[in-house]
A and B are shown apart, each in its own frame.
Chain A
Amino acid sequence: MGTLELDKPGKTVLMMGDEAIARGAIEAGVDFCASYPGTPATEVPESLARVSEHFGIYAEWSTNEIVAFEAATAASLAGLRALVAMKQNGVNVCADFLMTVNLAGINGGLVLVAGDDPSAISSSNEQDSRSYARYADLPLLEPADFQEAKDMTKWAFELSEKLGLPCILRSVTRLSHSRGNVKLGVLPEKTRKAKFEGVYISGAFAAAQHAALHQKLEQAREEFETSPFNFYVGPKKAKFVIVTSGTGWLYSREAVAALGLEAKVGILKIGTTWPLPEKFIVDHLKNVAEILIAEEVDPFLEQNIKILLAEQAKTLGPIEVYGSKSGHRPAYGEMNQDKVVQALASIRGLQLKARDEKYIEQAKELALTYIPPRMPTFCTGCPHRASLWAIKSALKLDGRDGFVTGDIGCYAIGAGPAGYFQIKTIHCMGGGIGLANGFGKLDRFAFNQPVIAVCGDSTFYHAAIPALINAQVHNSNVLMVVLDNGGTAMTGFQPHPGSGFDALGRSAPTVEIENICRGIGVEVRVRDPFEISQAVQELYDMLQEDGPRVMVFRRRCFRIEAKEKLQKKYYVDQTRCIGDDCGCARFCSRVFNCPGIIWDQEAQKAKIDEVVCTGCGVCATLCPGGAIKVRGAAS
């Protein structure tokens, strides 16, 4: 049994932030979880799916975030407790529903976990989703550590139910993906039965509903005034206070300790960041002269506090505010202890002992002795490498300066050397085909470059279909290439509608991409990208045609395949390797660039890195010397 199911109240266990959120939901008696995978929120629903049988939870990977949110809301309307988790971009996808469900209200506790990815470590943008709470007038909670991640989630359900509003819980990559101690709570008795009653319509009396919503928010503020997630630490009469939320709390504490300022600097930690617990804050800022706001990404807390200070100017008098506006904290990128230390030092005029200048250099060097330098690239055996090579070849053969519009997924690194620099635009889910759609209608303006929209299989279901319908209806000249590797690869192979299994790994009906295309009326072909010359030829032919067309490059990601089959062992027969000479010029390791093939400096020939090679064998079909062979096979 894992820690999620552990029925030992009071016991302290090590948990990942996302698991702690899931455990909080379990302790709140969550019944329903629908989500679309996205870093860093993926592990919340994944954890719930893992224990869904045990706790009688329904869990699904939905087609996209808004569908997930709507499904979860349905459960709430039927009186159940429901959770939906998504990455920052997913919140944007949900925005339309968010701006109406707030007015129409809900019934059972409904929690939206928004996973923000500061520094865009695994995202196509950097975004601070907290503004959605203010925008939609919804209560916002920001856990600052692992214990809070669990406890806040549990409380969020109660709050949501009390207010009749969805509650937003914002996590960030550092919290979601690291591990820390969590003291377990009580596992509830689950008794809820689903029953729908009442009317939930947004729009009919929208203005009145909006007014009522503001009242609910006032009610939330009242709750927040006494919330244990807001507290102050530090000297009683501090003149300087750090106001912080989320990960900023731990960084602030460490920074104050590092600078030995415990006796002078107080920390006001806010866990309920929208609406602000105004009385609580004002109480703690009386007699304070300066504050530093330490939060991650946007100046969300900073701006709201500034408004509060302006409103309370009479009570509080002038307070100097340091934050992103004053240049003491960048309003982008991940937060860390150093940034708080720097800010404190510069405000207080402290001399920091500078790090040895060579420190970073030496650290890098040291790191590189263990990790070979490598550009971001596809895994060994990745079908996308072959697909992008086929695309590059077809576009080059076509010769009209064609280009590729990209989408969201691991193939996005195709914009760099891994994909031979083929992808020229990347925006949001479905953005590639949407753009291509428009490019495909520019012929009357003398536009004659062919356009290929690449899109992952999961992305296809998520957001590409309306644009494809649009392309069909308007006869737009676009070739869509669906890179179908059989799952949502970027986030760890969650199933999608074409996978044939569900969140629990049970077999499920499939919706085939090609059937959707046929239904729309678009010409569609399916090819294995590892049959490279046929793939190039067909793609080239399709480029010569007008109107919308779809090519599905279908090959399961080798990571899934390798789990199922014993992999083949490839090696380079160095007597046949052409190497640097005319006729090859190191194609495999230099150009095709699979990390499984390396250059043997000594022999001046290619070599398979057996540790990394997955045995996909595509290099053997491309090697002009017939030098890449399977061990044990007849030559």
Chain B
Amino acid sequence: MEAGKGSADLEQEVLGQSLCTSCGACVNICPYIKVVRDRVAVIEPCGLTEGKCYDFCPRTPTDIAALDKSVFGKTRSDFSLGPYISIEMAQAKDSEIRCRAQYGGVISALMKYALDAGEIKNAVLTRPFDGAMMPASVVVEESRQLEECAGSNYVSSATLARMNEATRQGKNSIGLVGIPCQVMALRKMQASRHDTGAKGVKLVIGLFCTWALSYKGFSEFLKKKVDLSQVRRIDIPPPPANVMVVETTAGDIRLSLDEVRKFIKPTCSVCYDMTSEFADVSVGMVEGVEDWNTFIVRTPAGENFIDKAKKAGVINTKPLEETRLEHLKQASSIKKKRAVDAIQKRTNDKKNLLYLRLSAQEKKKFL
């Protein structure tokens, strides 16, 4: 983690290069950086040459091994999925949760349990639709508020900006649900020498992610087809369908995924993490199995929490078959490989990988 850079550098190296993930780590930690929708901007130069914004950003130099050490106390041995303790399949026991949430409903079930059991006081997560198709990150205090947060979204919202706001108000027992870039930034914050409230995040549930769409491009595209206020839910059914289904009050619209992919954020092409490798627990879908989630327990804290949740009968688990595990590893490795290629192409530099600082061993695998 290279120190000695500030908002001007962030503007130049990240925002100006379309590398911002809209994670929100740099937002609401000072008055200079703001987010609207998924657009982040430095409104006015603060004049400092060194600061937290640069330090926290998941697209400024990030030493994977060092971050491993700070989160897990050791470096990784699995270069495709990152450090983990166990991998299983899981689903929420409560069928109602399962049906509301897309797929297995594990996240909703776990967050509900965490809040009800007092493991955390607040949950920071994303409500998929906040009018006009833009998701909103919210701070939730009671588990019944979780309902509206079920479902998938394909535009990322600045969850960490919301978290920064919450910690600034003194909230210090937070559970956070985030996508890999957000989780990475959160861990960078927690590892930073700068003072931050991020240490108040006690439980991190990471989602799988392959890409996110840019709000501006995608909403303008969609606006031509439907009144955005009518959109109720967006879903991408498992392959080989290759479509995105937009459910609206006026009926479903099916969009070709090839068309939708044009609006993927440029930063997702250099993203090295599919499975939220720095989370306490990572959750994703299982290809071909509706109703169940892939479920990776990574940290001892995560394991401890999951044990309690299992005991409380919140989720069902079953082993993930070997072929599926292989499939998952392969998918994750492909994303990494693609990211490395994209970085090399972008920078015309074969050795230095933009923001990625990989150990010699890891480099060997992907270079």
Contact = CB atoms under 8 A, between A and B. Distances in A.
Interface of A: 392-394, 396-399, 420, 533, 536-537, 540-541, 544, 582-585, 587, 591-592, 622-624, 626
Contacts of A533: 34
Contacts of B44: 392, 396, 420, 591
30 contacts: A392-B43, A392-B44, A393-B43, A394-B36, A396-B34, A396-B42, A397-B34, A397-B35, A397-B40, A397-B43, A398-B39, A399-B39, A533-B34, A537-B36, A544-B220, A582-B30, A582-B50, A583-B29, A583-B30, A583-B52, A584-B30, A587-B30, A587-B32, A591-B44, A591-B46, A592-B31, A624-B28, A624-B29, A624-B30, A624-B168
Contact of B30 (A393, A536, A540, A585): A585
A420 B32 CA distance: 13
Given A544-B216, A582-B194, 19 more contacts: A396-B42, A396-B44, A397-B34, A397-B35, A397-B36, A397-B41, A536-B36, A537-B36, A541-B36, A541-B37, A582-B30, A582-B52, A583-B29, A584-B30, A585-B48, A591-B31, A591-B46, A624-B31, A624-B168
Nearest to A584: B30
Interface residues of B, number: 27
Given A420-B44, A582-B194, A626-B168, A587 B36 contact: no
Contacts of A392: 43-44
B73 interface: no
Point out which of B28, B36, B43 has the most chain A C-beta atoms below 10 A from its C-beta.
Answer: B36
Contacts of B30: 582-585, 587, 624
A537 B37 CA distance: 8
B34 A393 contact: yes
A620 to B, nearest CB: 12
Contacts of B37: 537, 540-541
Q: Helix, strand, loop or mixed for chain A's interface?
A: helix
Contacts of B220: 544
A398 B195 CA distance: 30
B51 interface: yes
Nearest to A623: B31
Given A394-B36, A540-B39, A582 B51 contact: yes
B47 interface: yes
Q: Which 6 A-B pairs have the closest CB atoms?
A: A582-B51, A540-B36, A585-B46, A587-B31, A397-B41, A396-B41
A576 to B, nearest CB: 11
Contact of A397 (B29, B31, B39, B52): B39
Contacts of A583: 29-30, 51-52, 195
Q: Which of B43, B51, B52, B216 has the most CB of A within 10 A?
A: B43
B205 to A, nearest CB: 27
Contacts of B35: 397
A626 B197 CA distance: 14
Contacts of B168: 624, 626
B59 to A, nearest CB: 17
A396 B35 CA distance: 10
Contacts of A582: 6, 30, 46, 48, 50-52, 194
B43 A396 contact: yes
A533 B35 CA distance: 9
B18 to A, nearest CB: 10
A623 B31 CA distance: 7
B45 to A, nearest CB: 9
Residue of A537, A541, A544, A582 with highest tally of chain B CB at under 10 A? A582
A624 B220 CA distance: 34
A399 B41 contact: yes
B172 to A, nearest CB: 15
A420 B40 CA distance: 19
Contacts of A624: 28-31, 168
A536 B43 CA distance: 11
Nearest to B35: A397
Nearest to A582: B51
B48 to A, nearest CB: 5
A605 B31 CA distance: 16
A582 B33 CA distance: 12
Nearest to B216: A544
Interface string B232-260: 00000000000000000000000000000
Interface string B6-30: 1000000000000000000000111
Contacts of B46: 582, 585, 587, 591
Contacts of A587: 30-32, 46
